A = this chain, B = another copy of it.
Amino acid sequence: MSSTYKDKKVISIGITSELTGLSERQIRYYEERKLIFPERSKGGTRKYSFADVERLVDIANKMEDGMQTFEIRKEEMKKSDVRDKMLRGQLNAAFKMRK
């Protein structure tokens, strides 16, 4: 929405590791489990955004609470599902008004 830098994927995994306190192994594993989606450089190195860093800290907290990766992923799917439904509702309402 805003024109900040929060969503630009420009941070390497090493820096991301420092910023989050997670090991590179953990970060790569969370990607494997579809919890985080870095971009890649031409050469194949991962690039994260500050939003990703925040998300990783959030994941770290949930893992500490004993939550498992698939539960965290499910939770996320629920959120986007709700957003989808809300969006569909909006579109629907707009469509009805056109009649």
Contacts and interface: CB of A to CB of B under 8 A. Distances in A.
Q: How many copies does the complex hold?
A: 2
Interface in A12-37: 12, 14-15, 19
Nearest to A9: B15
A57 interface: no
Interface residues of A, number: 13
Given A14-B41, A15-B47, 14 more contacts: A4-B4, A4-B5, A4-B6, A5-B5, A5-B6, A5-B50, A8-B50, A10-B10, A10-B11, A10-B15, A10-B19, A11-B11, A12-B12, A15-B41
16 contacts: A4-B4, A4-B5, A4-B6, A5-B5, A5-B6, A5-B50, A8-B50, A10-B10, A10-B11, A10-B15, A10-B19, A11-B11, A12-B12, A14-B41, A15-B41, A15-B47
